[in-house]
Structure 1
Amino acid sequence: MPSTLPPRHPSLPLAGKTALVTGVSRRRGIGFAVAAKLADLGASIVVHHHRPHDLDLPWGGDDLDAVRAGLREHLTDGARFADLPGDLSDPSTIPALIDTAAALTGDLDVLVCNHAKSGGDGSILDMTPERLSAFWEVNTRATLLLTAEFARRRAPRTETPRRPGDRIAGSGPYDEAQGHVFWMTSGQIHGAMIGEVAYAASKAALAGVTATVAKELLELGIVLNTVNPGPVNTGYMDPETTDRSLDGLDEYLASTPFGRVGRPQDPAELIGWLATSSGSWVVGQVLTSDGGFSL
């Protein structure tokens, strides 16, 4: 059914749009900051969360009621909000998640695959089939399946599988982007991530396939970009909740140009701009937003 939300206004470029952001269960998280930014720009917001994952980590789980209340404060007039739980390691949850998000207003315009499995990783000597699969299922497979389900809503139906080199038949040229998808990768594209082999491998796969999927989605008018937010303190660099050594961190940060690591709002600002028509000319890129850490 068509959206009943008001038309877009220049000061609210995402008014009338609906965004699904996965992995939003902590107020200090990147997902929360992204959802808040998209809401500030006028979008209706659907967030996905899987709190049991957070409860197993040193920084713990947040109060979901407080998360909901915090995001509702960012909604503009006429915008709507919903949240959904789900274990994305189970692929059967993905179609329902996309369908339910689209049902909020009648369409789904922005997909931000922010979810990630962390914790329980190790060095190459610690790798097992089970550990590698656990990170692949959540970080890589779920992201690809969410993107596929999002894209199918705008794609012509076909009964035969496409062969290598076959183009997806869209209905372009398009006056504007028909949707936006964002993937999140990590610092493995710039250097070693010691002791995080399974995580780095799962995220490297997304960075590596970005151009391929972006080319296919563009036939449907959908713009895909991948964001590497660099080191962002979402609680894992707090002394009381860290899962790693922080020896020498303060001294190192004091030597950097900005004297700090990233804040969740840093990548959120980038994603917010890319989700508007102004950012739609940036397509198929793996973008690093890290204040120069990779340099």
Structure 2
Amino acid sequence: MTSKAERLKGHVAIVTGVSRPLGIGTAICRTLAQDGADVLFTHWRAYDRTMEWGAAEHWPEKLCEELRASGVKAEHLEIDMSSPDSPYRILDTAAGKLGNPTVLVNNAAHSTRDGYQQLSADILDAHYAVNVRAACLLSAVFAQRFDPSSGGGGRIINMVSGQDKGPMPGELAYVASKGAISAFTVSLAAEVAPLNITVNAVDPGPTDSGWMTDELKTLLRPKFPMGRLGRPEDAARLVAFLASSEAEWITGQIIHSDGGFRD
């Protein structure tokens, strides 16, 4: 039996949207590396600087050093995911520096508050460019370049936010774009199955990844039957499982790994 530390040995993983020490993307990178995968992760500090939590300016470099110290190869790429050529640049960088990728985690997201009174074409377009176009193209080109004879199969894992479970008032552009990814996941899984690529989506539920206020934590905690908030590591463990050979029979699924959260 392959040990957990080796179950992704020889694999190259791409993880988008890794910019904060407490973020889900960071936890995913760490867990994939612990399982033996080499990792290329992306980030975009210009976007983070516009958010309430701000940018962790030197975090990508620190995380890269941490991953390398664990015994795997690691690279990072600062890139604007809203650029139409970003999927090609990401895949080219991964192949050139680490080898042909076998795991893709679409974690990057653009998210701003809107609601019907503020919704505009610009807001919709900004969400579409990152959350839909970039993720869809990255997935498609990943599959186009994947060699099905390489052994072990490929894995595409999309991060979503439970749009099919209930409403998220005030985030219309975000839910529309992430809902599109849920639909895309199911259909892409059927198309690329003959290539031995699985495609799944993970909904981690409300996760304490550094953006929640104390007031929001107090409001959300009673809605989890286990009495605690979601942690980035909860999502990361599921992503790592889906990336492994143990999950080769799971595809086209939207998995609500949210600790039983009920709004």
Given the alignment, which residue of 130, 133, 139 partners 2:131?
A: 139
- Alpha carbons of structure 1 residues 10 and 252: separation in structure 2 relative to 1, 3 Å: closer
CA shift in 2, pair 1:275/1:215, >3 Å: same
Cα separation, 2, equivalents of 1:255 and 1:143:
31
Aligned pairs (5 A) from 1:134-173: 134-154=126-146
Question: Which segments of 5 or more consecutive residues in structure 1 lack a partner in the other structure?
Answer: 1-7, 156-170, 240-245
Helix, strand or coil at the partner of 2:170 = coil
Q: Which amino acid aligns with 1:279?
A: A
- 2:31 is aligned with 1:31: no
Using structure 1 for the length normalisation, give the TM-score: 0.82
Which residue does 2:167 correspond to in 1? 192
Q: Is the 8 A contact 1:117 1:138 kept in 2?
A: yes
Residue identity over aligned pairs, in percent, reads: 37
> For residue 211 of structure 1, what is the aligned residue in structure 2?
186
Structure 2 partner of 1:168: none
2:253 counterpart of 1:293: no
Work out which of the residue numbers 58, 69, 89 in structure 1 matches 2:62.
69
The one-letter amino acid paired with 1:132 is L
Aligned length: 262
Q: So what's the TM-score if we normalise by structure 2? A: 0.92
Which has a greater percent of helix? 2
State the SS of the aligned residue for 1:189: coil
Q: In structure 1, what is the Cα distance between the partners aligned to 2:208 and 2:114?
A: 20
For 2:153, give the aligned amino acid: Q
Take 2:247 and 2:62, find their aligned partners in 1: how far apart are those partners?
A: 29
Query: Among 80, 86, 106, which residue is 2:79 paired with?
Result: 86
Matched, 1:52 2:20: no
**Separation in structure 2 between the aligned mates of residue 252 and residue 79 of structure 1, nearest angstrom:** 37
Q: Confirm whether residue 265 of structure 1 aligns to residue 259 of structure 2.
A: no
2:11 aligns to what?
17
Kindly report the root-mean-square deviation, in angstroms, between the aligned alpha carbons of the 2 structures: 2.2
Q: For the residues of structure 2 that align with 1:218 and 1:251, how far apart are their CA atoms?
A: 42
- Give the match's secondary structure for 1:111: strand
Tell me if structure 2 keeps the 8 A contact 1:21–1:35: yes
Tell me if structure 1 keeps the 8 A contact 2:64–2:75.
no
1:279 and 2:247 matched: yes
In the TM superposition, residue 148 of structure 1 has moved relative to its aligned partner by 1.1
Question: How many angstroms does 1:187 deviate by?
Answer: 2.4
Provide Cα deviations, 1:154-196, integer angstroms capped at 9, x if missing partner.
27xxxxxxxxxxxxxxx7xx89642101111112211110100
1:210 Cα deviation (Å)? 1.5
Secondary structure of residue in 1 paired with 2:163: helix
Q: Paired residue for 2:103? A: 110
Q: Aligned equivalents of 1:250 and 1:10: distance in 2?
A: 35
State the Cα deviation string for residues 271-290 of structure 1 (Å, max 9, x = none). 01111111121111000110
The answer to whether the Cα contact below 8 Å between 2:116 and 2:172 also exists between their aligned partners in 1 is yes
> Do the aligned partners of 2:4 and 2:35 also contact (CA within 8 Å) in 1?
no
Q: CA deviation at 1:234?
A: 1.7
Q: Aligned partners of 1:95 and 1:255: how far apart in 2?
A: 41
1:210-249 correspondence runs (5 A): 210-239=185-214, 246=215, 249=217
> How many angstroms apart in 1 are the aligned matches of 2:9 and 2:176?
37
**Structure 1 residue 106, shift from structure 2 partner:** 2.3
CA 1:185 to 1:251, structure 2 compared with 1: closer, same or farther past 3 Å?
closer
